[in-house]
Structure 1
Amino acid sequence: MAKKATAKSAKAKKKPAAKVAAKVKKAAPAKTAKKAVKKTTAAAKKTVKKAVKK
């Protein structure tokens, strides 16, 4: 599910999502990275929903 969600959000907002993912991968070890990715994907879903409403 997470991979599909990130792919959709990345397509919706290519550069921001990619940058966030890159930062998460560089900055965090595996466990914290997974948590951060969940948070970012949740945030991305929210932003996508807002964009769709507009």
Structure 2
Amino acid sequence: NSNNNNNNNNSNKEKAYERERGEKKKKRKKERKKERKKERKKGRKKERNEEGKKKRKKERKEERKKERKEERKRAT
């Protein structure tokens, strides 16, 4: 009978270990998911910033072009 109890204890310990391992695994998975989400968000934000920079650059270029055109008009 003591042998049976021993086996039972071992299987309970193993089950507890597996459960704990599963919980840790889930937790790690959740954290990785969160990190990936953060990275994607960061990437989108960066893209928007780049688009904005290009747009502003283009606008400044157009503005300078208009100013030069007006300068030439005034010169003649």
Q: TM-score range by the shorter chain?
A: 0.3 to 0.5
Question: What TM-score, normalized by structure 2, do the two folds share?
Answer: 0.33
- Which structure ranks higher in relative contact order (CA pairs < 8 Å, sequence separation ≥ 6)? 1
Question: What TM-score, normalized by structure 1, do the two folds share?
Answer: 0.45
